[in-house]
Amino acid sequence: MMSERIYPMTFASEFRDYIWGGRHLETIFGRKLPPGIVAESWDVSGHPSSPTRAEAGYWQGRTLPEIMDALGADLVGTNSAEMLRRNKFPLLVKLLDANQNLSVQVHPDDAYAREHEHGELGKTEMWYVLYAEPGTELIYGLAKGVTRESFQAAIERGTVESQLHRVPIRAGDAVYVSAGSVHALLAGAVVAEIQQNSDITYRVYDWGRVGEDGKPRPLHIRQAMEVIDWGLVEPGLVQPVMLAEEAGMKQSRLVQTPHFTVERVDLAAGAEFRGHCDGRTFEIWGCMTGQGAVRWDGESVTVQAVQFALLPAALGEYAIYATEQSTMLRAYV
C-alpha cells in the first residue's frame, strides 16, 4: 500500500572526521557519536559519498537514494523535476562543529560546476547558528576596497586575512552563503547547514596548518579566483521576514533562493503549525531548540533538538506540534 510507504522519515546520521571538528554535538546537544573527532553530521543526505538510511517504518535501513528511486515525484515533488531526471535528491542537511577554524573557501554555482566538475551541481547553502561561544565570529564576504587584484596579491604575500570580512554571531543567527561567497566558520561555532546536494569546495586559505600527513592541505586558487563574487562586500546576517503570527506561533522566512526556501517557525508549548504537502515539494523540518512531533493521518513521530524529519511531497496534511517551547526550521523547494 502506498500509504505505508509515504510517511515522515528520520535518518541515521553519517559522520565526517575532518581535522577542525570536535565533540560539541555530544557535550552540548547529547548526540551519540563515534570515538574521536566529529566535524560534520550528515542528517538528510542523498549524496553518494555518505547517503543516510531511514531509521524506521517501511523504508527502515534503506538509503535516501534508494527511497527516491522507488517513490520518485511522490518523494521530491514536481518542483524538483530536474533533480528527479538527474536522479539526485535536491538538498543536503548537516550539522557542523567548528572546534578549530575551517578553511577559507568558496563554492561554484551550477553553471561553473556543470562545465568544470563533470556536470555536478553548484553549492548554495545557508547556516543557522545553534551555538556560539562568546566573541565568536565567522568570515563572510570581502572587506571594503578588496578587488580581484588585491586578493591575488594577498594570496601571493600570505596576507589573505586582510581581505576578509568578519561578522560576529550568536545562537539564532542565520547566514545566506550563496555560490561565490568567500566564507569560513571559525572556532567556537556549531551550525545547521541546509545546502544544495553538492560537496564541491575550493579552498583559498588554510591558516598555515597541515593535515594528518604533515603536509599542507591542497588549495584550489585557480578555481576559487574564477568563481568568487567580487561584489559581495561586507554582507550582513539574514534579516528574517515575518510571514504569519498568531497565538503561540510565529513564522518567518530566512532564505529564498532558486534552489530552496528556509523558514523559521517558533512555537509555544502546546502550539502547532499546520501544513499540506500537496505534491509540489517535499519538506524538511528540523527542531533547533525544544521538542515537538510531526503528526499526520492519526500518527506521530517525535523530533527533538537537533533532529530533522523529511516529509514526502505526497504526504498530504500534517501538523508540527510543540511539546515544549520550540524553534523549528522548515526547508522546501
203 is catalytic: yes
**Which single residue is written with the C-alpha cell 523559521?**
264
Q: What is the DSSP letter of 46?
A: -
Please pick, among 31, 85, 170, 203, the residue that the annotation labels catalytic.
203
Strand (E) or helix (H) holding 244: strand 241-246
Distance separating alpha carbons of residues 319 and 274, to the nearest angstrom = 4
Distance separating alpha carbons of residues 5 and 187, to the nearest angstrom = 42
Contact in structure between 33 and 76 (CB atoms under 8 Å): no
| DSSP codes joined into one string, 277-329 | E-SS--EEEEEEESEEEEEETTEEEEEETTEEEEE-TT-EEEEEEESSSEEEE
Dihedral, CA of residue 48, residue 111, residue 94 and residue 188, to nearest 10:
130
- Angle (CA) 43-333-1 rounded to 5° is 70
Peptide bond into 306 cis (omega under 30): yes
Q: What is the DSSP letter of 246?
A: E
Contacts made by residues 168-173, CB under 8 angstroms, sequence distance 24+: 168/135, 168/136, 168/137, 169/129, 169/132, 169/136, 169/137, 169/138, 169/237, 170/129, 170/132, 170/136, 171/129, 171/130, 171/131, 171/132, 172/128, 172/129, 172/327, 173/128, 173/129, 173/132, 173/237, 173/238
Distance separating alpha carbons of residues 200 and 180, to the nearest angstrom = 12
C-alpha cell of 52?
543516510
Q: What is the DSSP letter of 175?
A: E
Residues classed as catalytic = 203
